[in-house]
Amino acid sequence: MATLGERIKRTEKILPMEKETIDEGNFCKPDFECRNSFPHIAEITEYPSKIADALKLEVAKKIAKIPVWFDYSQEEQTQLVHSFLNSVFESEEFSSDMQKSEKELILKDFTRCIRGLGALDFITALENLQTLTVNSPSYISGIICGKPQTFNLTFNKSHFEELIRTLSQKSLSTSPILTFKDFGRVITLMKEPICSARIVVKKTGKFYDNLQDMLEASIITKKTSDFILNALKEKKKILIKTQKDICGDYLFYSLIKELEGQCILLQTSEFLADLGANVMKFNVISLSEYEQNIFTDTIFRYGANVIFVDEISATFTEKLLTKLPKEIGFATMTSDCDNLIRENDFDIIINLSSDGLSYIVNNKA
């Protein structure tokens, strides 16, 4: 078997990591209207977003040309991305202007972008991207700051086919329309017989996949995160309420990743990111009312510490709460347009809005 270095050199021969001049002129400056959530929060990274977006597009172009990208491990993919970035850093445009600390921030940020979907990861990481549509391997368009834009990028045929296969294998459904949730994005895959394979991505917020990132970004305080985690460990019932266009997924799923012990996740669409071996996931979107009753009677026998419910029907949620044993914690999420879930059934109500996070302890529960 070839070593990591040999495999990277082989790919660099397929796709030379040549130095290029990065065009920054096609990207709008970040402003509050373009951002999807928490406009008052400082960036985790400090280097200009115009440079970041230009680099991300260039990396996406490189990756999209590699037919065997999905054969590499995440470590190998990271090595290739770092190889390209280091060649850019050595160019005249960057070497004299960028500090070592800025380069390290870029490497860290780009490492976080690698999330298992190849070139698509870096396109969807663009700062002010709102939606992205991959209509074919050679036609990719999106909306940035409310303005339509076509990307000068072409997927290698094998890379595109493997991307479709990767998404398809992450779902048990045979439906021609598959929807996946992820940290900061919702991905919809449409395929035959409805149409030839197409991918639509909607950005729902910035990419926070753990509580530490949220602490650093001042979305949540250490005191509040400890309070919520302790409440779940004490088997409390928690309702997370979000306003329209304010994504609460990163808080909801970060809590799941943070907890130790057996957890159960009930969902209506697949979640892409790995949540840990202690999380049992059930897709309940297609259950009939009769099947819901059987499922509700069965699910509590798994010995889980906490049950997490992601946007299932209010009726189904009420059934679960009615039969919920005291020794199991419970957390669910809803938007402000859904008034069907009764707040009095919960011990703690967390409100996420453009102003940040707050919570109420409900003494009536």
Q: What is the pLDDT of residues 118-155, one digit of tens each?
A: 999 999 999 889 999 999 999 999 998 889 999 989 99
From CA 177, how far away is CA 277, in angstroms rounded? Answer: 27
**Structure pTM?**
0.73
pLDDT digits (tens, 9 = 90+) for 44-84: 344 456 778 888 999 999 999 999 999 999 999 999 999 99
What confidence tens digit (pLDDT) does each residue in 349-365 have? Answer: 888 776 677 778 876 55
Lowest mean pLDDT among 106-110, 181-185, 235-239, 352-356: 352-356
Contact (CB, 8 A) for 309 and 330: yes
Please report, to the nearest 10 degrees, the dihedral formed by the alpha carbons of residues 286, 289, 293, 299 taken in order.
20
Amino acid 73: pLDDT: 93
Residue 32, pLDDT above cutoff 80: no
CB-side exposure of 161: number of CA atoms within 13 Å?
Answer: 5
pLDDT by residue (tens digit) across 161-214?
999 999 998 887 888 999 888 888 889 999 989 888 999 999 877 777 778 877
CB 17 within 8 A of CB 84: yes
Residue 193: cis peptide before it, omega within 30 degrees of 0: yes
Domains of the chain: 4-203 (3.30.450.90), 211-361 (3.40.50.300)
Residue 248's pLDDT is what? 67
**CA proximity to 102, closest of 43, 45, 25, 21:** 45
1 has pLDDT over 80: no
Answer whether residue 328 shows pLDDT above 70: yes
Residue type for 138, please? S
Which residues, in sequence order, are bridge partners of residue 281?
Answer: 265
Q: Give the list of residues 6+ apart from residue 223 with CB closer than 8 angstroms, or none.
A: none
Closest CA relative to residue 115, chosen from 15, 14, 207, 200: 207
Instruction: Give the integer Cα–Cα distance in Å for 124 and 185.
Output: 8
pLDDT at 284 over 90: no
Q: Are 37 and 205 in contact (CB under 8 A)?
A: yes
